[in-house]
Structure 1
Amino acid sequence: MSALISAFSLGDDGPTVAIKDTIDIAGMPTTGASRALANAAPARQHASVVQSLLDARWRIIGKANMHELAFGMTGINDHTGTPVNPQDAARIPGGSSSGSASAVGLGLADAALGTDTGGSIRGPAACCGVVGLKPTFGRVSRHGVAPAESTLDCVGPFARDVRMIVETMGAITPAFDKQAALQRVTACRIGVARVDAQADLLAAVERAPQRAGFASHVIELAGLTEAFQAGLAIINVETWTAFGHLVGSGLLGADLEARLRAASQTTPDQVSAAERVRRSFTDAVDHALENVDVIVMPTLPALPITIDDARRGVSVIAMSSLIRPFNLSGHPALSLPLPIDGSPLKAGLQIIGRHGADEQVCAVAAAFEAALVD
C-alpha cells in the first residue's frame, strides 16, 4: 500500500508507529521518497526520535511515504506512489507527510511521525481526517532528520485521537508532561482568528467553542498574510541549500525540479525581509495569546482538491496560507478533525498555543474532540 514505502517490524510489542522517510532508521537509506536519493547509504544510527520510541518499546511498522523531498503540498508522488486519502480516495492526501497521515487514517498504525516545515503535518492531517501536531519549534529533537539544518522544521505525531498524540509525544520527548496534556479542561478563553477561508469551514470553527462550552471572541491576528509569504521565502532558500545540487540530475520529479529552480531565485533581500516579518509576526502571536489561552482557525482554507485537479495544474500553494505562518513563529499548532454541516468530509480545526505550551494545546484539543464527536 502506497502509504508505506517499505513495511517491516522493528521494536517491541507496544503501540505501532510509521516513520516518515526523512527520519533515519539505522541500516536503512533515508531517501525522502525520491529517485535521486534511492542509492543513499544506509543510516548509521537511529534518529533520536526513533531511538526514543524503541526505548519506550514501541513497534515500528515501516517507512512512511511522502511528497518527494518534503517539498510539496499535494502528497502526489509518481516515483513511490501517491498515498490514499482515507476520507476520499479521489482527493489529495496532502503533503508532505502524506504517507504518515494516510497510514494512521487507514488503520495501518496507531501513530506516525511526520515533519512540518510549512504545514506538512497539519495539512495532511486535515486532508485525511486525523489528528496532527506540530510541536513548538525545538521541542522535539531533529537529530537524524533531513534536512539537517532548518529554522522551520519540526518532528511531530499523527494519530486518530488526541490521547495517542499525547502518548507519542511522551515517547519522543522525555520532558513532555502527559498528565498535564490529558488534564480535563473545563474553562478556556478561545480567540477565533478572522481569516480568509471557505464559508462552511469558518462557520464550523465559530461553532466549535460553543459546543465545547468555552468562551470565545473574534480576534485580529496582524501580519498573517505577510508571515505566509515570509515562510515561503525561508523554506525556499533552506530547501535549495539542502537539495539544490540534485537539480539537473534527471532524477527528480518534474514538479519538484520546477519548484527547486524557482526557489533558487530567492534573493538575500527577500530573506532579510522575511526575517523581519518572522520577528514581528512572532510578537503579534505572542501578544494575541496574552488575552486568550489558544487561537483557533481552520487548518486549511478549503477542503482538499482532487488528484485529477492537482495534476491538471490547479494551484495548491494557498493550502498553506493558515498553517505556514506558525512554522515561521514557532508556536505549537494542532489540527483536529472538524465536522462540516452537509459534508461527509471532515476539515481541520487548527489550535495554536503559546511557545512551549504543547501540553495545553493537547488538553484543549481533547476537550474539543469530546464535544465534536458525531
Structure 2
Amino acid sequence: MSSMAKVCVLVGLGIAGLIIVSRQWEKKKRQKKRKEDFGAFIERLELLPPPQPAPPVARHILTDLTFALQDIFDVEGYVTGFGNPDWLRTHDPAAKTAGSVSLVVAHGATCVGKTVMDELAYSITGENRHYGTPTNPAIASRIPGGSASGSAVAVAAKLVDFALGIDTDGSVRIPAAFCGILGFRPSHGSVSTFGVVPMAQSFDTVGWFARDANVLRRVGHVLLQLPMVDLRRPRRILIADDCFELSSTPKEKIVDVVVRSIQDLPGRQVVNHVNLGQYITSKVPSLKIFRNEESRNGEGKSALKDLSNAFELLQRYEFKMNHEEWVSTVKPHLGYEISVRVRAALESTEEKIQSCLKARNEMREALCNLLKDDGILVIPTVPILPPNLRSKKRQLEEFYSRAFSVLSISGMSGCCQVSIPLGMHEGCPLAVSLMARHGADRFLLDTILDLHPSLQKQAEIASNTQPSISDDCQIDAAENYKEKGNAAYKGKQFHKAVNFYSEAIKLNDTNATYYSNRAAACLELGRFQQAEEDCSKAIEIDRKNVKAYLRRGTAREMLSYIKDAIEDFKFALVLEPTNKTASTALERLKKFVL
C-alpha cells in the first residue's frame, strides 16, 4: 500500500471515529434531555401572556401559571405534528393559534412547549414509536396512557402547572388516572375546538390536566368562560355498582373512600347505588342493534359493551371521513397498533351509523334525566391498572375492551367528567371519576374543589390502615373471601371472583391456592400475564401445586411462550402421571416445536 493510500485510510478512520463519537454524544445528549423532561416534550416554544392590567383591575386569573399543550393544537407559525412525522412533513405551519390556547394565554398563562402524543390521536396507551414514550412519573415500568401522554407526564412531573389535551375516547382521563393527577373532560361542545386537528367530532373535547384542584377550576372557568360564583354542593351521589364490578381493583377500596369523603362534607348528601347498564338498556333502545352479536370474550354483551361498540363504530367512521384521503395519499409509517386501528377505520361503512347517532342522543337525554341538576355519578376512570410498557397484543386488546366499557359513558352522552387520583394500589396510581350531566361543568368543577381534600385524606387513611384482627381471625376472613371467590367463579362472575381472591391474598399472602384460584379467574377474563404471575407465586409457595402448573402452562401457551408452557405441562405430569389435561396439552403443543 502506498504512503498516500495509508494516509487516506487513516484520515477515513479518523473521520469515521469522529462521526461515531459525535453520534454517541448526540445520543447521550438526547437521553439526558429525555431524563430531565421525562420525554414529555416534542418541541419547546414560548407564548407569553399580555401585560397585567393596571390597578384597581384584578390580575389575570391564570397569572404565573405555566402550561404545555398536546401536539394536536395549532400554534401560529408552527406545524402541528399530530404525533406523526409524515403528518408534520406534509402540512404547513398554522396560520392562527387554537382558540383554547389563545384564551388561556390571554388570561395570564405562559405556554412552554408542545408535548408528545399517540400517532394521529388514535390510541390510549401513550406509546409513540417515532418520538418515544413519555415516562410515567408515578410508575416508570407502566404506560402513561394516551393520547395526551406528554401533557399528563409534564403535569405529573411538575414541569408545568397545567396542560391541555384532547379527550375523544379517554385521551385526557386515562393518562390522568395512570399518572396520578386530575384530568377534566368538559361537556361536549362547551369548549371551542377551533385550531385542533379533528379526530372524531362527535366526541372531540378540549380537556386539561392539573395537580391542584384550584388550578383545575381556574383553568376550567377560563376555557368554559364561566363567572366565579359561590360553590354549589351535590345533593345526590350515585354509585354505578356494575361499572365497579368490571374493575380489577376491589370496589370497596374506591367506593368506601368516596362515601366517607362525602360524609365529611357539610350538608346532607344522599348516596344511592345504581345498575347503570340496566338503566341504559331501558332508556337507550337504539343500542338493540348490537344485542344479538357475540362479544369479544365469548360472553353475552351487557349494555355497557353495546354502548362501547356504538362508540367505537362512530369514532372509526368519523376518523375515516376526516383523514382517509391523507392516509391513502401519503401512506404514512405507523406503529403496529395504530396501523391496525387506522385500517379498521378505513374499512368501516355507513351501516349502523344513523343508529349510533340516535343512541348518542338517547344516551345524553338518559344521563341528564338520571343526574338532573344536583346529581353526581361515580364510576372507575379505567377498570384496569396501567398495563406494562410494550404489552403484547392480547393484553392491549383486553385493555381497550375493558377501558371503553366505561370511557364510552361520557363519550356517548357528552357529559362532563373528571378523573381524581386516590392514592396507590399494587404500586400503581388509583383513580375514580365523577360525572355530571351535559352542561353542568361549573357544578362539577365546584364539586371537585369541595371534595378533593377529603378524598385525598380518606385515600391516605385507607392506604395506611392495617387490619387490627388476630392471625386466626385474619386466616378465617381470608378463607371466607376464598369461598366467595369460588362461588362467584362457579356463577361465571369472573371479575367478582378476582376481587374476592385478591382480598383473600391481602389477608394471607402465603396461601398458594388463593393465587392459583385467582389465576383461573384471570384466564377466563383473558388476563394471561396476570395469570402467569399468580401461578408463579403459587408455585414459589407450593412446588407441588399441580393446578398452578396447569394454569401457568395455559397462560404461557396463550402468550405464545410455547417451550415454557411445555415444561409446565411436563412437570404437572411428573406430579400426576395420569393427568389428562397435561397430556392433551403436550400433544397439542409438540406440533408447534417439531
TM-score tier by shorter-chain length is over 0.9
Matching residue of 1:23: 73
d(CA) in 1 for partners of 2:409, 2:207: 17
Matching residue of 2:468: none
Which amino acid counterpart does residue 188 of structure 1 have in structure 2? R
d(CA) in 1 for partners of 2:378, 2:395: 30
1:193 aligns with 2:240: yes
Return 328-337 or 312-321, whichever deviates more: 312-321
Q: Is the 1:202–1:297 contact (alpha carbons within 8 Å) kept by the matching residues of 2? A: no
Which amino acid counterpart does residue 229 of structure 1 have in structure 2? N
d(CA) in 2 for partners of 1:289, 1:184: 15
Which amino acid counterpart does residue 11 of structure 1 have in structure 2? L
Match runs of 1:44-55 below 5 Å = 44-55=95-106
Q: Deviations over 1:169-200 (max 9, x none)?
A: 223232x23334xx274x63100012142353
d(CA) in 1 for partners of 2:109, 2:394: 41
Which amino acid counterpart does residue 119 of structure 1 have in structure 2? G
1:336 aligns with 2:417: no
Match runs of 1:210-249 below 5 Å = 210-213=260-263, 214-221=269-276, 222=280, 223-244=303-324, 245-247=326-328, 249=331
d(CA) in 1 for partners of 2:338, 2:272: 41
Q: Is the 1:231–1:327 contact (alpha carbons within 8 Å) kept by the matching residues of 2? A: yes
d(CA) in 2 for partners of 1:310, 1:65: 22
% identical aligned pairs: 29
Change in CA separation of 1:184 and 1:149 when aligned onto 2, cut-off 3 Å: closer
1:38 aligns with 2:88: yes
Which amino acid counterpart does residue 246 of structure 2 have in structure 1? A
Matching residue of 1:202: 251
3-state SS of the aligned residue for 2:229? helix
Matching residue of 2:42: 5
3-state SS of the aligned residue for 1:302? coil
d(CA) in 1 for partners of 2:426, 2:335: 34
d(CA) in 2 for partners of 1:153, 1:99: 18
d(CA) in 1 for partners of 2:404, 2:142: 17
d(CA) in 2 for partners of 1:199, 1:33: 31
Change in CA separation of 1:249 and 1:141 when aligned onto 2, cut-off 3 Å: same
Q: Deviations over 1:290-322 (max 9, x none)?
A: 396110111000111111325775322122321
Aligned residues: 369
Matching residue of 1:278: 360
3-state SS of the aligned residue for 1:347? strand
Change in CA separation of 1:309 and 1:199 when aligned onto 2, cut-off 3 Å: closer
Q: Deviations over 1:49-101 (max 9, x none)?
A: 11112211210010011111110010100101101111101101111111111
Which amino acid counterpart does residue 271 of structure 1 have in structure 2? I
Q: Is the 2:415–2:436 contact (alpha carbons within 8 Å) kept by the matching residues of 1? A: yes
Shift, 1:272, TM fit: 2.0
Q: Higher strand proportion, which one?
A: 1
Q: Deviations over 1:225-250 (max 9, x none)?
A: 32211110111111122222315714
Which amino acid counterpart does residue 349 of structure 1 have in structure 2? V
1:309 aligns with 2:391: yes
Q: Is the 1:192–1:219 contact (alpha carbons within 8 Å) kept by the matching residues of 2? A: yes
Q: Is the 2:40–2:134 contact (alpha carbons within 8 Å) kept by the matching residues of 1? A: yes
Which amino acid counterpart does residue 322 of structure 1 have in structure 2? V
Q: Which has the higher contact order (CA 8 A, sep 6+)?
A: 1
TM-score calculated relative to the size of structure 2: 0.59
Q: Higher helix proportion, which one?
A: 2
Return 154-163 or 343-352, whichever deviates more: 343-352
Larger Rg: 2
Change in CA separation of 1:59 and 1:355 when aligned onto 2, cut-off 3 Å: same
Matching residue of 1:87: 138
d(CA) in 1 for partners of 2:306, 2:199: 26
Change in CA separation of 1:225 and 1:292 when aligned onto 2, cut-off 3 Å: farther
TM-score calculated relative to the size of structure 1: 0.92
Matching residue of 1:368: 451
Q: Deviations over 1:236-273 (max 9, x none)?
A: 11112222231571422232222111112222122122
Which structure 1 residue ranges, 5 or more long, are not aligned? none
Shift, 1:25, TM fit: 0.7
3-state SS of the aligned residue for 2:407? coil
Change in CA separation of 1:86 and 1:224 when aligned onto 2, cut-off 3 Å: same
